[in-house]
Amino acid sequence: MKVYGITNCNTVKKALDWLKANKVDYEFHDFKKLGVSEQKLNEWNDKAGYEKFLNKQGLTWKGLDSEVKESVKGAVEALPLLQQKTSMIKRPVIEDGNFLFFGFDEAVYQQHFNK
């Protein structure tokens, strides 16, 4: 299982704490150190749609110029922006086989990991 995120993100910290407390093994991928590939973003987009993981509530999105925000009409515009500004990806991203989840929801985690 792989967890994608940023170490100083509170939501990521909550998720990692939950995984540790429930003895779920994972590999951590730090967006700030490792970035994210175009291929991975396309894979997530194909499975879930970029709207699921483009975080429009965060400071990075809110800090963009209006022109840039308005130019995002679909995946063609969104994915390169997400690759450039990984802090706009809703975190954490959990990949576990066919399970793909963005964010932290204890009930979803409990159901998926049967804890």
Q: Which residues are part of the catalytic machinery?
A: 9
- CB distance 58 to 87 below 8 Å: yes
Q: Report residue 98 CA to chain centroid gap.
A: 16
Outline where DSSP puts E strands in 1-115: 2-5, 27-30, 93-96, 99-102
